Amino acid sequence: MDARTTDAGSPAGGSVARREGRKAWLKVIRESGLPKELAACVEQVVLRSRLWRAERVDVARELVAHFQDGMTAGASAERLVSEFGNVAAAARLIRRAKKRTRPAWWHAQKWVARGCLAIMAIYACMIVWFVARSPDVKRNFSAELNAPVIAADPAGNAWPVYLTLIEQWPELPAALGTLDKQGAWKLSRIRPGDPRFGAMAEYLKSISTELATIRRAAAMPRLGFVVNRDDREAMELQNRRAYRLNSAATPAALA
Amino acid sequence: MKIERELLRGAGTLAVLKLLERREMYGYELVEELAARTQGVLAMGQSTLYPMLYNLEAKGLIEANWRDAPAGAGGTRERKYYKLTMRGRARLQEDQKQFAALAGALGMLGVIRSSFAGGAGATKGVN
């Protein structure tokens, strides 16, 4: 076992071996005995090709062998360099061709990486687009929804009746419980057998006029609710009230 | 005579495959043979030849192996020899037919002399 093999076993030796491995192609050129200009030509081609280590060694060995054959055939170094052609073009073409000989997993990895990059680019463009632009409202859906309601006879609208009922709704007897988190009564949970069921029956009798009004409103041709997106607070208040009325009227509907 | 790169592209590949049909050859030998046998018409720089060889290798049309150069070829050193594969042989046959058809067609148009094109008979059996 030589000293280099022993060194390669240690971490420091490993890095030395890796460094030497990276420069293996350079060693091939330097030990070839080629004239300076030919060695420089090979070095430039291999360096510019930016290939994998083993590929670089292979290209360097082949170009060295090529120039050695030329020298053996009696050609001068100058002639061989001029016949070689453009170094940059050669490096580019050699890189392109050598990459085609790489294993299938490398090609798969390349396409996956390209796909990921394309998706990232699309996302980046979308982010820029969303940040740079402001919404351009082309259609007022609220106005379209409200138009038939506003045009219709207000006497057929149930919503004003419901609002009046909500305002005048009698307080719930304490025996029937409290409001839930959304501000509605929990009357629909009171079923036969519940100790509060009797109190609820009494309560429903006491609000028979209001329930009759609800039924009358429900029979009207339209709800007549006007969407007002500009006054969000009023909309939310109306929604809460409607929910409360619904919770009060549900047991009556079930009764 | 300098040939346009586009015209040379297909012809260069065919010429290399044809040279390798008879025996295996190394890079410098291919360059010299191409120049000598085509009177310099198909002489190509090494910057063109080696990428072409790597491409043909990637397509499985030729295969390469490193071997010691025969004695008297500048001491003990290695050369990379290229030889035609079965696939390469089939491709060569196909390309030859296509080039014969092309030459025949150009001959019929009077672009090239029919003696070069092989006459109308060159196109027979192609399709």
Which chain A residues touch B48 with a CB distance below 8 Å? 85, 93
CB contact under 8 A, B27 and A90: no
pLDDT at residue A1 tops 50: no
**Residue A76 C-alpha from the chain's centroid:** 62
Tens-digit pLDDT profile for residues A36-48: 999 999 999 999 9
**Residue A84 C-alpha from the chain's centroid:** 51
Strand order in the sheet with B78-84: B25-26, B78-84, B62-68
CB contact under 8 A, A97 and B74: no
Is residue B87 a contact partner of residue B60, using CB atoms and an 8 Å limit? yes
Other CB atoms within 10 Å distance of the CB of residue A246 = 14
CA distance B90 to A56: 31
What is the predicted pLDDT for the residue at A21? 63
CA-nearest residue to A46 within chain B is: B47
DSSP symbols for B54-123: HHHHHTTSEEEEEEEPPTTSSSS-EEEEEEE-HHHHHHHHHHHHHHHHHHHHHHHTTSS-HHHHTTGGGG
Contacts of range A20-23, beta carbons closer than 8 Å, 24 or more positions apart: A21/A53, A22/A53
Q: What is the ipTM of this complex?
A: 0.76
Nearest by CB to A100, which of B26, B58, B80? Answer: B58
A207-233 mean pLDDT: 84
| Cα within 13 Å of Cα(A128), Cβ side | 6
CB contact under 8 A, B47 and A71: no
pLDDT at residue B49 tops 70: yes
Which chain A residues touch B58 with a CB distance below 8 Å? 97, 100-101
CB contact under 8 A, A66 and B28: yes
- The whole-angstrom distance between A42's CA and the closest CA on chain B is 11
B60-78 mean pLDDT: 78
Nearest by CB to A97, which of B26, B46, B58? Answer: B58
Nearest by CB to B74, which of A45, A68, A101? Answer: A68
Is residue A160 a contact partner of residue A230, using CB atoms and an 8 Å limit? no
CB contact under 8 A, B51 and A100: no
Q: Which residue has the higher pLDDT, A219 or A2?
A: A219
The DSSP code for B26 is E
Exposure of A150 by Cβ count < 10 A (0-12 exposed, 13-18 middle, 19+ buried)?
exposed
- The whole-angstrom distance between B16's CA and the closest CA on chain A is 16
Beta bridge partners of B83: B63
Is residue B2 a contact partner of residue B48, using CB atoms and an 8 Å limit? no
**pTM, rounded to two decimals:** 0.59
Nearest by CB to B46, which of A66, A71, A100? Answer: A66
Which chain B residues touch A70 with a CB distance below 8 Å? 28
Flag the least confident range among A4-13, A213-222, B60-69: A4-13
CB contact under 8 A, A65 and B77: yes
Q: Which residue has the higher pLDDT, B44 or A57?
A: A57
What is the predicted pLDDT for the residue at B127? 33
B65-76 mean pLDDT: 71
Q: Which secondary-structure segment (H or E) carries B25?
A: strand B25-26
- The whole-angstrom distance between A6's CA and the closest CA on chain B is 29
Beta bridge partners of B65: B81
Termini Cα distance of chain B: 32
CA distance B80 to B64: 6
What is the predicted pLDDT for the residue at A109? 93
What is the predicted pLDDT for the residue at A5? 38
- The whole-angstrom distance between B34's CA and the closest CA on chain A is 14
Which spans in A73-169 are helix H? 77-84, 87-100, 104-132, 141-151, 159-168
